[in-house]
Chain A
Amino acid sequence: MDPNFPILTTLIAVPFVGAFLVMITPERRPEIARAIGYAVSAAVAGLAAWMLFDFSTTTHQLFQRTETHTWIHTLGVNYTLGIDGISLFMVLLTALLFPLSLLASANVAVRIKSFIFWMLLLEGALMGVFLSLDLMLFFIFFELVLVPMYFIISGWGSDPERRVKAALKFFVYTMTGSAFLFVGILAVALLHAKDGHPLTFDYVTLSNWAPHGLSRTTATWLFITFGIAFAVKVPLFPLHTWLPDAHTEAPTAGSVILAGVLLKMGTYGFLRFSLGLFPRAAVDLSWLLLVLATIGIVYGAIVAAMQTDLKRLVAYSSVAHMGFVVLGIFALNTEGIDGALFTMISHGLTTGALFLLVGMLYERRHTREIANFRGLWKSVPIFGGLFLATAFASIGLPGFSGFIGEFLALLGTFLTHRPYAIVSAVGVILAAVYLLWAYQRAFTGEPDEANEHIPDLNLRELACVVPLLALSLFLGFYPKPVLEMIQPSVQTVVTHVDRSSNHHQPAIPTPKPAAPEKKESR
């Protein structure tokens, strides 16, 4: 790849241009809009894959392929993009889930043009979130994401009454969080300027200054302002109640993107900005995040088990899964953060697949109530088998990607904050409880009248789900490529945190070569 080719800008621009193209297509030719949607999202996926193969694991640069252009000079706002091992996989996840979600939305029948428009706008905004290295630019994309998501939930959700409410709740809730983020961003930049530096929102500059430039108290307060915004997005207990409503009402594509990508904006924010700018506060307040994450893991799983709506169940399971991510991040060591990032990827794959499957079930039965399903494994064996496999992937069975992530996140936490790891490990049991119990109620037994004659998955539907499951299986057995690529970036974060605070990694003994075993003769 030509090193000067602005691929990051292209990744953001292509969906936006696509959205514009969709806008100018005639309303009565939805197939054109659809074709643009497929083509653009596939092109983005291709670009992202290209970038993956071009990604260097040996460079000493913090960020690769950075692009900087002065934007609003007087305000110090620049258009700065860059990619490292942390953002790389978020970009890839986004690029993978969009074409699959669009493919899964082939049955969307109303206002197709606007649907595709919002989806592409959403993709561009999400790319911007993960690629921005300027705080103001990041914030703009962070906010921009809300708008298309709001319209997707309120416009194409399942229940015309409740979907508007759910969308509004989602919007107001996350918007309130963002207000804190905005104040925090401004404060950091202003304090930096006040310290005698030119005004800038550049992340790299600020993260070099903030750890020593801010007083401990100020840093703690700013950490909290950033943290609220990100905690709402994750969502962290007790700020999670927008999630089940939004998920349940959103159309399938909306749920997949919401769970697969949007939630990761929160944990990505913690990892990139909270740890980067306020490492000492992160260490000071790690107990709080660990407490909330642990509660989220156990509480999310218990509440998930009690849901009667299959989609709500999967939504609550996200609360538990994302709890593992936050747990791993605030273990503040390489093992934990590796695990957190891996769980982010894995959760995107498996929960994405679960939402796709629940959506396909809804299209067939027009209900999501578990009590209305029975014996589906018999009536639709392929669907049943695939759902079971996805459920086990989500449970975190070794061999699937979920295990690697959860194991490392728990291991990292165990090394630094043992009690949290012990309590959180209970989540491993509970995940099996809620998913297998739901599976038993909906899929086993003899199918009744309503569930007996429904069509099994078609090729298009298989093409949506199977790649996600296959990827999860592949990464479960061979996580090495991903772990290798994220390793340098995670190591940088950990070193940054350790250096900026009095935080120390616990020593792990280096295993000694096995002594030749002594044998007693009889």
Chain B
Amino acid sequence: MSSREWLDLVWIVPALPLLGAAVLLLFGKRLGEPLAGWIATALLGLSFVWSIVMFAELRSVPGEERHHVVKLFDWISAGRFHVSFGLLADPLSVTMILFVTGIGTLIHLYSIGYMHGDSRFSRFFAYLNLFAASMLVLVLGASYLVTFLGWEGVGLCSYLLISFWFERESAAKAGKKAFITNRVGDFGFMLAMFLIFERLGTLEYGGISSSGHAVPSAFAGIPGLGSGTVTAIGLLLFLGAMGKSAQIGLHIWLPDAMEGPTPVSALIHAATMVTAGVYLMCRSSAFLLHSGDAATVIGYVGAITALYAATVALVHNDIKKVLAYSTISQLGYMFLAVGVGAYSAAIFHMVTHAFFKALLFLGAGSVMHGMHDEQDMRRMGRLRKYMPVTAATFIIGWLTIAGIFPFAGFWSKDEILAKAWFAHDYALWAIGVVAAVLTAFYMTRQVYLVFFGNARWTDQPPESTPAVPVIAGASDDDAPPPGAAHDEHAEHAHEPISPHESPGLMTLPLVILALLSIFGGLLDLPFTNGGWDFLTRWLEPVLTDGPRITSFGAGLALSTIALVGAVVGIVLGIAMYRKGLPTDGEDPLTARLGPLAKLFGHAWYIDDAVTAAVGGPGRRAAQWLASTVDQGIIDGAVVGVATIVRGGSGGLRRLQTGLVRNYALAIFIGTAALILYIVVRAG
């Protein structure tokens, strides 16, 4: 078979996990634990293998022709609107499927251990597989509409998985919140599609069809558009991306999303869902290249998000919530990169972030697993003695996200900051550096509170000590999740905790992810002359980065500044938390931040404000519409008219007695009379 014939089979990549989801939804109960988990993992693993085959086949095609569209069938065809159900294999989509399936498989594997004993074990894996399948459709879609199908599938699965333990009120609410917040973004995505179709006549990304002919592409017509239109399209698509990728304003669902089982958090934060927005922006780079305004907005929203979320992560005490805000912050970096036109840098950071964030989340899950579902870092400490593998891998994750040489995060974050600098956007660069210092600090705080310092889990829970204001979000003191295994933990909640290492099924993915975090930088080293920038060159047919690092000396200087910043953050963190927390539970940071601690602790009150607006005036207005307007005015008017008619005419009163036969009779008589009248007049 030729390469193109092989690439025609790219549909197998999403089909395998979809098959798994179908099988597990229908027969999952009978398959039971752990078989259901193994089936799901194996299918996604096969999908990963198949993605590698696709990668190899795509590589064997000359660089210029690495666009392969597979039209499976005509999807929607109405009037002038035609969209086929097509998949596109190109360097960008193949990069995405490789890491979605790769990281996804590791998370599946981990989940077999983590979800052990849950009463809905097989359902969990059905959802996980569906989640992966949706994400794969999203990235492989050959048009905005097929991408949107996967996009919404991802939204559905996030709903199902975040509220997986739906018996818990907070989990059910978090799932709903995620879906609805994302729908706000979808509103933008849909309008963008309408506008693209109106102006360009197609929603297809274009490329070369399997028969070798060029197919119409939305992108081909972009140069003919007015700049206002392109900006509108870019910003509407960005609104969609803001929802999925949790940028400031629409980020409010992500911290709550950790209500789901921890592997779900890892999947959402690393391999699927949040990366979708960044992918969409890179896929739409043709629009952004023609609209400097849209790009500027995106870059600044990203930078502000990066900084904002980093400040919030400083003071949180929930091990998962710190990581959640760190995800928002890191996504901000990726949008910053998109804003300065450094698309391949955004993808590079997305990939390395997938490595280290999956590692950190799964590590956090491992900690919780060994600590009877404890999530409060104030009740941890010194755990490196008890869970050496988790600790060692988590520490690698910490150094990676902090941007320490030579871990993967150093290279990818540095590329973004350097390109921002070379795009002459010094403000974005500065914000990025400040956020990087904060990142290094809060991750150091987390590592020291969890793995070093004093062991605080032997003490009474420090509930009486208000170290930091109680954080919005119900999960802090909520009951642990239901499900057999977790219920058991809950019963022992007040007994002495004996931390222990997690089983091999859970630590193996940690080790693999740690290795990827160490060596991931090799994917795209900034030594362009030596040809070491593999990822950038691989993506080049699709993505052309605007800014180039033109001076090696300046690049080195920028790297040094970023590295120094990271070291400063780490040193500060170690200085403050070397001994853990004092016995009274007072966090030294709270005192130093003063009033800011409260602001950060409440995540700048954004979520509170939205909740208050929707729940207060919003709800009152809706209630007013439903009762006063609908029942009072509109229905009242109808009833009023009926009453007046009844009161005004005694003869009509008989009609209101409820004898419908009279009405029926009236119609017939009336009809007959009118017909008679017509006959007379017409004749």
Give the interface of A toward B (CB within 8 A).
74-75, 143, 147, 150-151, 154, 164, 167-168, 171-173, 175, 182, 186, 189-190, 193, 199, 238, 240-242, 299, 302-303, 305-307, 333-335, 338-339, 375, 377-378, 392, 397-399, 403-404, 407-408, 410-412, 414-415, 421-422, 425-426, 428-429, 432-433, 436-437, 439-440, 443-446, 477-480, 483-484, 487, 490-491, 506, 508-517, 519-520, 522
Contacts and interface: CB of A to CB of B under 8 A. Distances in A.
Given A172-B642, A241-B638, A399 B660 contact: no
A514 B198 contact: no
Contacts of A190: 678, 681-682
B177 to A, nearest CB: 9
A483 B197 contact: no
Contacts of A433: 180
B634 A241 contact: yes
A307 to B, nearest CB: 7
Contacts, number: 217
Interface of B: 63-64, 73-81, 85, 148-149, 151-153, 155-156, 159, 163, 166-169, 171-173, 176, 179-180, 183-184, 186-187, 190-191, 193-195, 197-202, 204, 206-208, 213-221, 528, 540-541, 544, 548, 622-623, 625-627, 630-631, 634-635, 638, 642, 656, 658, 660, 663-664, 667, 670-671, 674-675, 678-679, 681-683
Given A335-B80, A511-B217, A511-B221, A399 B184 contact: no
A393 B371 CA distance: 41
Contacts of A426: 187
Given A410-B194, A428-B187, A509-B200, A516 B679 contact: no
27 contacts: A172-B642, A182-B671, A238-B634, A241-B631, A241-B634, A299-B625, A302-B626, A303-B630, A307-B626, A334-B80, A335-B78, A335-B80, A338-B78, A403-B152, A411-B194, A428-B187, A429-B183, A436-B176, A439-B176, A444-B169, A446-B167, A487-B79, A511-B220, A513-B215, A514-B215, A515-B214, A515-B220
B625 A519 contact: no
Given A75-B675, A508-B198, A514-B206, A432 B183 contact: yes
B64 A519 contact: yes
Contact of A517 (B81, B213, B541): B541
B64 A509 contact: no
A88 to B, nearest CB: 16
Nearest to A165: B658
A516 B215 contact: no
B152 A399 contact: yes
B608 to A, nearest CB: 19
A508 B675 CA distance: 49
A519 B635 CA distance: 65
B426 to A, nearest CB: 24
Contact of A444 (B73, B163, B663): B163
Q: Name the prevailing secondary structure of the A interface residues.
A: helix
A444 B166 contact: yes
A168 B658 contact: yes
A159 B10 CA distance: 57
Contacts of A242: 638
A445 B73 contact: no
B164 to A, nearest CB: 11
A513 B214 contact: yes
Contacts of B77: 480, 483-484
A516 B220 CA distance: 9
A151 B220 contact: no
A314 B627 CA distance: 17
A168 B30 CA distance: 52
What 9 pairs across the A-B complex have the smallest Cβ distances?
A334-B79, A511-B216, A444-B172, A306-B626, A514-B217, A338-B78, A241-B635, A511-B202, A414-B194
Contacts of A478: 73, 75
A422 B74 CA distance: 27
A447 to B, nearest CB: 9
Contact of A408 (B78, B216, B683): B78
A520 to B, nearest CB: 7
B626 A410 contact: no
B194 A512 contact: no
B625 A514 contact: no
Contacts of A511: 200-202, 204, 216-218, 220-221
B167 A378 contact: yes
Contacts of B78: 334-335, 338-339, 408, 483, 487
Contact of A398 (B153, B528, B627): B153
Contact of A397 (B152, B213, B638, B664): B152
Contacts of B683: 74
Contacts of B81: 335, 408, 411
Nearest to B623: A306
Given A306-B622, A338-B79, A440-B176, A429 B187 contact: yes
Contacts of A199: 678, 682
Contact of A479 (B76, B79, B218): B76
A516 B200 contact: no
A428 B190 contact: yes
Contacts of B667: 143, 175
B218 A445 contact: no
A445 B172 contact: yes
